[in-house]
Amino acid sequence: MLKKRFLFIFDFDNTIVDDNTDTYIWKLLPEGHKSLPPQFEKEKHWNKVMRKVLQFYYHNDISVQQVKTCLQEMELTQGFRELMNFIRKNKDQIECIIASDSNTFFIDSILEKQDLKDVFDKIFTNPVQIIDDMEISIFPYHKNECESTCPRNMCKKTILLDNYQFNNYEKVCYFGDGKNDYCPGTILRKEDIIFVRKGYGLEKLIKQKDLECEKVYFESGIDCINRLENLQL
Ligand SMILES: [Mg+2]
Ligand SMILES: [Zn+2]
């Protein structure tokens, strides 16, 4: 296989899609609760909260198909259709992956609906088991010892270090919005670029403690394309 010059890494929630998949499906809770009913609130590990929500759906006959249909209403972030097409056009030079704390079922449902499966070479996220077409069960991606603010079930820096050698690429581009995108940002080199969604947690963290790589702040995927067009792809 021909070596690719660029590695593109995408977060999913609030980066590719314009909302959070985990909280989006709370719409299916009784009376369309905007926040979680009290029985879920005591749990402080996010992973466990989601497990409980999905168990609640199972016990209340909210089907896997309903969850899927709900997720498939979600929209891409502004300009990301164009950004995905830009990557497609240059796929011979770009290795493209997702690293997300969502899960395989949520991400696959959306990529399928948005016809984006061909854009990504690999997806690193929490695995899911669908039991008897009835119950969705999410499992932690891994356990990690990261001392940054990463959740216990996922450190994206660890994922990248375990699976990729940045030195094999001319440039690494990381696209993200959230707090858990800061830790992988710390291993980006001077020649790499982090694309940071304006107005979200990652932007604040970078303002507090700068990263070594180039920073591009975006509101739309078009802002990202404008920077990428200068890469001589
Ligand atoms: Mg995110
Ligand atoms: Zn970490």
Return the CATH number at 168: 3.40.50.1000
Residue 196 lies in a domain: yes
pLDDT tens, residue order, the chain (233 aa) = 568 999 999 999 999 999 999 999 999 988 777 777 777 777 778 888 898 899 999 999 999 999 999 999 999 999 999 999 999 999 999 999 999 999 999 999 999 999 999 999 999 999 999 998 889 999 999 988 898 879 889 999 999 999 999 999 999 999 999 999 999 999 999 999 999 999 999 999 999 999 999 999 999 999 999 999 999 87
The model's pTM is 0.95
Q: What is the pLDDT of residue 2?
A: 66
d(CA 33, ligand 1 centre) in Å: 22
Would you give the end-to-end CA distance of the chain in angstroms? 18
Residue 110 lies in a domain: yes
Supply the range of the domain harboring residue 212: 6-18+77-126+143-231
Q: Is 154 helix (H, G, I), strand (E, B) or coil?
A: coil
Q: What is the pLDDT of residue 8?
A: 98
Residue 39 lies in a domain: no
Helix axes 221-228, 80-89, angle to 10 degrees: 30
What backbone phi and psi angles, to 5 degrees, belong to 59? Answer: -75, -15
d(CA 227, ligand 2 centre) in Å: 27
Residue 59 lies in a domain: no
Question: Any binding-site annotation on 11?
Answer: yes
SS3 per-residue string spanning 16-64:
CECCCHHHHHHHHCHHHCCCCCHHHCCCCCHHHHHHHHHHHHHHCCCCH
Q: What is the pLDDT of residue 41?
A: 74
**Is 207 in contact with 188 (CB distance < 8 Å)?**
no
Residue 12 lies in a domain: yes
Catalytic residue among 13, 181, 192, 223: 13
Residue 51 lies in a domain: no
Residue 40 lies in a domain: no
Q: What is the pLDDT of residue 144?
A: 87
**Is 97 in contact with 120 (CB distance < 8 Å)?**
yes
- Which pair of structure tokens corresponds to residue 164? 């990729």
Residue 50 lies in a domain: no
Q: What is the pLDDT of residue 112?
A: 98
d(CA 196, ligand 1 centre) in Å: 10
Q: What is the pLDDT of residue 1?
A: 59
The count of domains in the chain is: 1
Q: What is the pLDDT of residue 217?
A: 98
Among candidate residues 225, 200, 229, 185, the one with its CA nearest the CA of residue 15: 200
- Listed residues: CB within 5 A of ion ligand 1: 11, 13-14, 177-178
Question: Any binding-site annotation on 177?
Answer: yes
Residue 11 is a catalytic residue = yes
d(CA 142, ligand 2 centre) in Å: 12
Residue 13 is a catalytic residue = yes
